[in-house]
Structure formats: C-alpha cells, structure tokens
Chains A and B, each alone.
Chain A
C-alpha cells in the first residue's frame, strides 16, 4: 500500500459515489415526505392539533382556524416554521410551534397533507 495509492483510490471511490450522493441530496430537497414518519405525525396531530383544528383537520372549533387536511405539505412546513420563529405572530400557534422540533414539523406536515380535505385550487 503506497502512500500515493491511498488518495488515488479514495478519489476514485468518492467519484463513483457522486451521482448517488447527488440523487440523494436532490431527493432530500424535493421530497421531505420520504423521510417523514406519518405515524409519528398522526400521533402528534391527535395530541396537539386536533383539539382546535378538528379530529379530521377539516372541522376547526373556531371559524378563524384554518383547515389543514389536504393542504400542500411544503406550505404546512413553511407555516409552522414561521410560527416557530415568530415570523407569523399568533399567541396560540406561536406557543405550539415552539414546542415542535424540525422532525415534528416535517411529520405533521406529511400527515396532514395526506388527509382527505376540502381545500382545492378552484378559482
């Protein structure tokens, strides 16, 4: 094993992995749901969200609360993140979102985006 041989070999290996790494990186960006845990999302949804947004995510207890089910996953992530960092100001959602980890947010968004809802793109 020559000292020169090792770096060459390493470079060759890392080059062969490059396409795979690129693909993995792209997937991670494009589809957060792949890594989301729907079961954990459902559990958290029932514990933290259902009391106000409705058990099905479509029947909020107050008309000023939004329906969540079927909403775009990345928008739900964006909204929860915005509440967490006080970019969106709401006393209830601010407090709730601050208790959520990054994974919690991804799991919740993945869960609600997959529930049947009444939201649509109609004009």
Chain B
C-alpha cells in the first residue's frame, strides 16, 4: 500500500537538512504515516458494503423467536428512549424492510450510535438482521 512507503518518501528530503530540519521532517513523516492510513481506513469503511451478506434471505417466521429484544421498547406505545437523549422510540413495524436492515447493520458496526441499539444489534448475525427486516418491514405497494 502507498501508506507503507510514505515515511521513506517523506523522509528523503531530510538528506540536505540540518539535524533540526531532519528531526522536523521525520516528525512530519511520522504524523503523515499516521494520518494517511487513518484516512484510507476511513475511506474504506465508507466504501465498504454496509448491508448484510448478499443473498441472505429474511424469514419472517424465524424472526418470531428473535423479536424479544425489540418488543420491550418498540412495541410499547409512548415508550421513550431515555439515554443519551429523551425521545419516543420510533415505530418500526411497517417501515421499509431495507431501511431496517441498514439501520441494524449501522448500529452493529457502530456507524449509527445509540448505546442500547448498539448493544442489541451487536449480538445479531446477518441472518438475524435479514429475518427481523423481513418481519418488521412492509414491502412497497405496487403502483
């Protein structure tokens, strides 16, 4: 990878420099070598497919054994999330299936931050997520 070579490339100008300049350059190189891979990693995270594995087919019947962690909040009218902010937990039944799949995947990866949802989604497999999306999601009406 490019990032590997950076310290050497950036370090090269130090040849002509006084010791102080050399030290400065290698500090810069060190900083860059940290920044660039971090930026690349961030870019890769953004580009990485966030969905569940392709071809995972959701089974709404199988989800019936998996909704225990959902109904304690989402099936109670008026229930509010209390941490870190107070607001009504969203209604999820009837939502777009793919949206639910994406939300759970994003919570699982930490892309979407909510302590409770992060903890719950963290224990879900791709199959679990597909099943729950199929269970709660309602397909688009044909128009």
A79 partner residues in chain B, CB cutoff 8 A:
90
Nearest-neighbour CB distance to chain B for A94, whole angstroms, equals 12
Interface of B is mostly: loop
> Within the assembled complex, what's the spacing in Å between the Cα atoms of A1 and B98?
72
A71 partner residues in chain B, CB cutoff 8 A:
90-91
Given known A71-B91, A75-B87, contact A59–B99 (CB-CB < 8 A): no
Q: Is the CB of A77 within 8 A of B113?
A: no
Q: Is the CB of B91 within 8 A of A120?
A: yes
User: Is B53 an interface residue, CB under 8 A from the partner?
Assistant: no
Interface size for A (C-beta < 8 A) is 27
What 0/1 pattern do residues 87 to 127 of B give for CB contact below 8 A with A? 11111111111110010000000011100000000000000
User: Is A123 an interface residue, CB under 8 A from the partner?
Assistant: yes
Interface of A is mostly: loop
Q: Is the CB of A65 within 8 A of B99?
A: yes
Q: Which has the most chain B C-beta neighbours within 10 Å: A70, A72, A123?
A: A123
Q: Is the CB of B93 within 8 A of A59?
A: no
User: Is A15 an interface residue, CB under 8 A from the partner?
Assistant: no
**B87 contacts which of A74, A117, A118 (Cβ < 8 Å)?**
A74
A-to-B contact residues, CB < 8 Å: 59-60, 62-67, 70-75, 77-79, 87-89, 117-123
19 further A-B contacts with Cβ under 8 Å, apart from A59-B143, A122-B94, A123-B71, are: A59-B140, A59-B141, A60-B99, A63-B96, A63-B98, A63-B99, A66-B99, A70-B91, A72-B88, A72-B91, A74-B87, A74-B88, A75-B90, A79-B90, A89-B111, A89-B112, A121-B93, A123-B70, A123-B74
